[in-house]
Structures are given as C-alpha cells and as structure tokens.
Amino acid sequence: MNRRRFLVTSLAGAFLSLPDAEAQRGRRPVIGVLSPWASSYPPAGQREPFERGLRELGWIPGSTIVVEQRYGDGKSDQLPKIAAELVQLKVDLIVANGSLAIRAAREATDTIPIVMAVAVDPIREGHVQSLARPGGNVTGLTLAAQGRLEPKQLQLLKEAVSGLTRVAVLANRSGDPSAAEELGNAARTLGVRLQTYEVSASEEIPDAFRAMRQAGVGAVLVRADPLLLDPQSAQSAALALRHRLPAIYPWITIPGNHGGLMAYSVNMIDLHRRSASYVDRILKGAKPGDLPVEQPTKFELVINLKTAKALGLTIPQSILVRADQIIE
C-alpha cells in the first residue's frame, strides 16, 4: 500500500471512529424541561432542585443525562412552539411545569412520556384518566387541585382582614379557569363577594390594582399564572402595598422575596425535586400510565408582619400560630 493511500484510509477510519455530538448525546437519556416562567423567576428555579433530585438518584446532568431546559418567559402562546421543538430534538421524556406547559406538551406528542412537575387539577384538565392509574403518556405531581387551594387562600384572607366582604381576584384573561367554580362556592360560604380583574399583559397590572382600589375591594387573591407571577411578583406586591390592599399569593417565596403579605401553597422546590423520581422510574422502564399521580401532603403558610404593619393590619393570633414562617 502506498503512503498516500495509507494516510487517506487511516484518516477516514479515524473520523468514522470518533462519535459525533449527536451520536454521543444519543447514548445518554435526553430530558426536555418545559416551563412557562422566566429563567430568573423562583418557580423557574426548578432547575436546581430538579437536577439535585436527579443526582440523588444517580443521574448526573451533563454526564450521564442531558437536560434541555426551555422557558416560555411568561408568554403562554409560545409554549406549543417550544414543546414542538423539544419533540423535534427527540427527547426521551418531557418534564412540564404547570397546566399550560402540560397542555402544550400533550398537544405536541402522545408518545413521548410527560412528567407533570406541577399540575393544578390533572383529571379535570384531561391530562390523566385518574390519579391512581393515569393511563396514556402523562403522570407526575399535582397540587391536589388548585380548586381546593384557592378556597383555603380565600378563607385565610377572610380571617386576616376584619370585616372583609369584597375580594379582588387578579387573573390572566387567557389563563386556566379551572378553579373558578370552587372559588365561587367558597366565597358564598364565607359571605364574600368576588370581583375578577383580568389582564392579558403585564403592563395592565398597575391599572388592575388602581381599579381594585377605586372599587373599594378589601383584599386581593392573586392566581397562580406565569403572566401574574413571573417577573411581576415584586410589582404586584409593591402595588398591593401602595394601594393598601392585603394580598395573598400562591407561591410561598413571595412574602420573603418581594414583601407580599401572605402566601399559602405547597413547597414548589420540593415538588420539582420529587419530579426527578418519575424521570428515574420511566427511564428504567416504567410506563407513565401505570405510575400514580402524587399529591402533596403538606401546605405552608407564610406571613410578612412587616407588610402587615405597613398596611395597618393586625394579623389575628389564631392565624399566626398556624403559620409555618413569619417574617418580621
């Protein structure tokens, strides 16, 4: 064999023996994570607890497993496009955070397993057939129905604000309406009248708070939605304080991070960490439809007494003794 031919043959063999990036990645599971939030917002801080959960189970992101993180930045209309991109990447599994992201993932694929990191009411929303046997390609964790969470938030507002009769509900005009019926029933039971203020862009939130104050409502319940809680959490808390409106929020980080008065919800960080266990089981051969949907067993109440003082509000001792965290 002449030297030139030998060199060509050797180089060709060398290139063929080196796995390209796609082939190398293909030997590791690829997980797509779809979140409606911005990467800078605490619920989108799901990445750290989720990846910590993976490591606890023996999966090392970037080494033994690839995590493709995608954010909607609070723009729900972008989620279907992003979900389709994850499908095109041929991910092995999609972790979807929140009802809108879950819906987008389901519309993008009925074959790739989908893990619900945070679902509001997966049965009513049609994501699963039942909590015990989800069926199909979807399973994961639920908030135990937001419809049971928001009535509790309303009850806490009623207890915290003496003589409360009118409560504003800040909502996304195109958001998930699933808890409206239960919240309305709770309001009637508590003797409270609800007034819903819908917005379709973050720029409309200041006007909504001005309208609430002008209408004379006594408190505000902020719904769990990316448009309302993404970078707008600090804005909403500041507006509530400026208009002297006691408010309750669906993320327990808001009183401490942004000065919100109260929050009642599950520990979202823990939910994201536990979602890794579904990824682990599915990658090891379990079928999503056979894995029961997990419901939280602990809800946390956080109260910011500094904000209460600024509002001229005295939180009853009966509520303070039930708080998991009091910020002074």
136-164: per-residue pLDDT in tens? 999 999 876 555 788 999 999 999 999 99
CB-based burial, 82-94: b 16+ in 10 Å, e otherwise = bbeebeeeebbbb
Euclidean distance between CA atoms 182 and 167, whole angstroms? 15
CB 121 within 8 Å of CB 281: no
pLDDT in tens, 3-20: 444 444 444 444 443 333
Kindly report the backbone phi and psi dihedral angles of residue 290, in degrees, each rounded to the nearest multiple of 5, phi listed first: -100, -5
Q: How many C-beta atoms surround the C-beta of residue 64 within 10 A?
A: 13
Low-confidence ranges of the chain (pLDDT < 70): 1-26, 38-45, 74, 144-147, 175-179, 226-227, 229-231
Euclidean distance between CA atoms 263 and 247, whole angstroms? 8
Q: How many C-beta atoms surround the C-beta of residue 195 within 10 A?
A: 14
Euclidean distance between CA atoms 214 and 99, whole angstroms? 32
Euclidean distance between CA atoms 282 and 245, whole angstroms? 46
Euclidean distance between CA atoms 43 and 36, whole angstroms? 10
β strands within 48-155, DSSP E: 66-71, 93-97, 114-119, 138-142
Residue range(s) of every CATH 3.40.50.2300 domain in the chain: 6-144+268-290, 146-265+299-327
Euclidean distance between CA atoms 79 and 155, whole angstroms? 33
The CATH number of domain 146-265+299-327 is 3.30.1330.90:
no
pLDDT in tens, 165-175: 999 999 888 76
The CATH class that applies to domain 6-144+268-290 reads alpha beta
CB 76 within 8 Å of CB 98: no
Q: In the chain, pLDDT over 90 holds for what percent of residues? A: 62
Euclidean distance between CA atoms 31 and 86, whole angstroms? 9
Per-residue confidence (pLDDT) for residue 40, from 0 to 100: 61
